[in-house]
Copies of this chain bind each other. A is one copy, B any other.
């Protein structure tokens, strides 16, 4: 863990770590390079929760939000936030803070333009649910060199600053993008931030990430919506609905705008996943109609669910970002179910 209380090794120069929101570049350089100041851009459910969690972990954090009301609420709660994006970014540039883009995908382009203008050399990550389009958006502004994407797999049916809380990421998976050319210093900073927020770090290539979440996150939402519709407007059916319907439709309670943002932002991968599942269901449908039964579907589905229940994560140990082949090794380990852990010799666990 990157929590201050567990940092037992002195910082490289033997000086105390950088503290305080006004810490400048020289303080940062004298502090822990894996734990720079953090600047959160967007204070909705995820960004607002990240701000709270990072503050609770002892990090120096400030944030920006467009909505004056959210800024006021966050200020009243004692957080260091502002509605002035250029000022927030200039402060980040001064301390080489890690920028966290936490706005919805359609708003990313505007934020990236502001970063390119006011803080073009800061390390950057994000918490948006798709990674390939994010990487493309930042590359379009020349910001790809110090960008490492992130995706905390946490959320609720609620949204906005007021719905957030500092424990949102406890135990959740936080994907850190492992793409060729990633800056190892930034990669470590992002993974350390995820750990500070209580999450488990899974490395994954951006395209692999998008394909995987299409299947295990976006597809379940689409099936839940369709199942809910199958029961609609039929009081008898709803009277008879028990656990299978209740659980199968649970995420249809999510705000439809969030479901749209997730699935539409990852449309290609979602269409591919949906096509595969429609083919599986159509085959079962034809077998059922022909009187041949659904042995294949029921058998394969049962085996697959058992496989999921018995999924065990392994720790990726002793891999130092930056050593030759590190990014391929991280991707391979993530594919095999591995979870990144900071090398022990850094003394952060």
**B-binding residues in A (CB < 8 A):** 153-154, 172-173, 175, 202, 204, 208-209, 211-213, 215-217, 219-257, 259-260, 263-264, 267, 270-271, 273-278, 280-282, 284-285, 288-289, 291, 293-295, 297-309, 311, 313, 334-337, 339
Contact = CB atoms under 8 A, between A and B. Distances in A.
A240 B216 contact: yes
A219 B227 contact: yes
Given A216-B242, A216-B245, A254-B302, 17 more contacts: A202-B236, A204-B236, A217-B240, A220-B247, A222-B281, A225-B297, A225-B301, A243-B250, A245-B308, A246-B308, A247-B251, A249-B301, A250-B305, A252-B304, A256-B302, A257-B298, A263-B294
Instruction: Give the number of copies in the complex.
Output: 2
Nearest to A172: B242
Given A235-B335, A275-B285, A305-B253, A242 B260 contact: no
B245 A220 contact: yes
B216 A230 contact: yes
Nearest to A276: B230
B277 A278 contact: no
B277 A227 contact: yes
A-B residue pairs, 5 tightest by C-beta: A225-B301, A256-B298, A252-B305, A232-B304, A220-B244
Given A263-B288, A308-B249, A212 B240 contact: yes
Nearest to A231: B216
Contact of A215 (B231, B277, B313): B231
A298 B225 contact: yes
A277 B235 contact: no
Nearest to A156: B243
A215 B228 contact: no
Contacts of A281: 222-223, 226, 274, 278
Contacts of A278: 278, 281-282, 285
A86 to B, nearest CB: 33
A337 B239 contact: yes
A213 B240 contact: yes
Nearest to A208: B236
A18 to B, nearest CB: 33
Given A231-B216, A256-B298, A301-B252, A241 B285 contact: no
A153 to B, nearest CB: 5
B273 A242 contact: no
A251 to B, nearest CB: 5
Contacts of A303: 232
Contacts of A211: 237
Contacts of A252: 301-302, 304-305
A254 B306 CA distance: 10
B228 A212 contact: no
Contacts of A253: 302, 305-306, 309
